[in-house]
Amino acid sequence: MNLKPVNILAFIGSLFFANLAVAADNDLIVFDWGGYEDPGFFGAYVEKYGDSPTYSFFSDEEEAFQKVRAGFRADLGHPCSQSVVKWRNADIIVPIDTSRLKNWGKVDPGFAGMEGFQVDGVQWALPIDWGATALTYNADEVTEAEASSLYAFADPKFKGRVSLIDNVDDAYALGFLAVGVMDWTKATDDDFKKASDFLRKVHKNVRQYHADGAEGSALMKSGEILLEWTWNEVAFTLGWEEDAPKVVFNRGTKEGSSTWVCGYTMMKDAPGSEEKAYDFLDAWLEDASAAYMLTEWGYGHTNKEVMATVGKENGWEPLESYTEGSLFQKPSAPELRERMIKEFELIKSGF
């Protein structure tokens, strides 16, 4: 099977994220990760309005946060578990009225009530997609033994053959896991220093940081990259490619993997149609949308009924089981996250 056209577009788009926007329905502007403009995710919205929303893309949540703080206006945003609290505290999002979502009852309560997503009964983010970040490797050239530890990323034999997802939360999940920290809310200053030191060692081997799964897939398919710290999507979509190497998503390394949940937020001072924003969110919760995410992209969905059927058929476990033995990217202290952001930029710059 050929790579889905949307993923190719996402890869090309990732090269120009700073200025790229996909114009369609101007009454709804969605600020999102590249690739999520795939109409398969919100088919009911397209069926009702005859068009997709207008999209503007970001490659990192901190980039998105700073752009909004600088005055960029959108109707919906797509942060993950680490950022929702920061966005709420910065007063750039508003609560979601779940009574306006006919599909709200489909959302697994365990996701709906997650820390940061729901506060004192108020829903600040609609949980949608979830998955993992793990060691992903070219099994045609890397042995199972070599890929059994996260320390492979720092092994000199892989110099210039490594790529990490360009995301501060994922990067520090890697760093903390490597030094034995499974809960970053309990990390000490010494843990942070050790995690940063490990990431500096890894940086020496990095050929390129990739913006999203589509770019990660392209790099792995090219043969340039043998090891990636990346999301489910890369190995999943490359599994369809006849001319791609065998790529394995290894969540079972000695040090573990990381897990996360992302969702949509209603942005403050939104310029477009509130009605369309709610219709868009409802479309994302449809059974067909959830099944599409599972079977075409390889990510989990918060629709509990679809996860219990299609998800189970595709090897997905409940969130509690899925996150066992992983570093779950739950909200950390704001001070720690700001340190992570600043330090990761220094590391990528070679300092």
Architecture of domain 5-130+262-318: 3-Layer(aba) Sandwich (3.40)
- Reported as a single tens digit per residue, the pLDDT across 130-180 is 999 999 999 999 999 999 999 999 999 999 999 999 999 999 999 999 999
Q: What mean pLDDT comes out for the span 31-49? A: 95
For residues 121 and 142, the answer to whether their CB atoms sit within 8 Å is no
Predicted TM-score of the model (pTM): 0.89
Residue 236, pLDDT score: 95
Tell me the pLDDT band of 22, cut-offs 50, 70 and 90.
Answer: low
- C-alpha of 145 from chain center: 27
Within the chain, which residue ranges are assigned CATH 3.40.190.10? 5-130+262-318, 131-258+326-348
Smallest Cα–Cα separation from 32: which of 265, 330, 233, 298?
265
8 Å CB contact between 202 and 287: no
CATH number of 131-258+326-348: 3.40.190.10
Helix-strand-coil split of the chain, %, nearest 5: 45, 20, 35
* Position 349 pLDDT exceeds 90: yes
The 10s digit of each residue's pLDDT in 76-106 is: 999 998 899 999 999 999 999 999 999 999 9
Which of 230, 233, 253 lies closest to 298, judged by CA? Answer: 233
The pLDDT tens digits for 41-56 are 999 999 999 999 999 9
Confidence of residue 268 (pLDDT cuts 50, 70, 90): very high
In terms of pLDDT, which residue wins out, 321 or 294? 294
Helix, strand counts (H, E) of the chain? 15, 15
DSSP character at residue 280: H
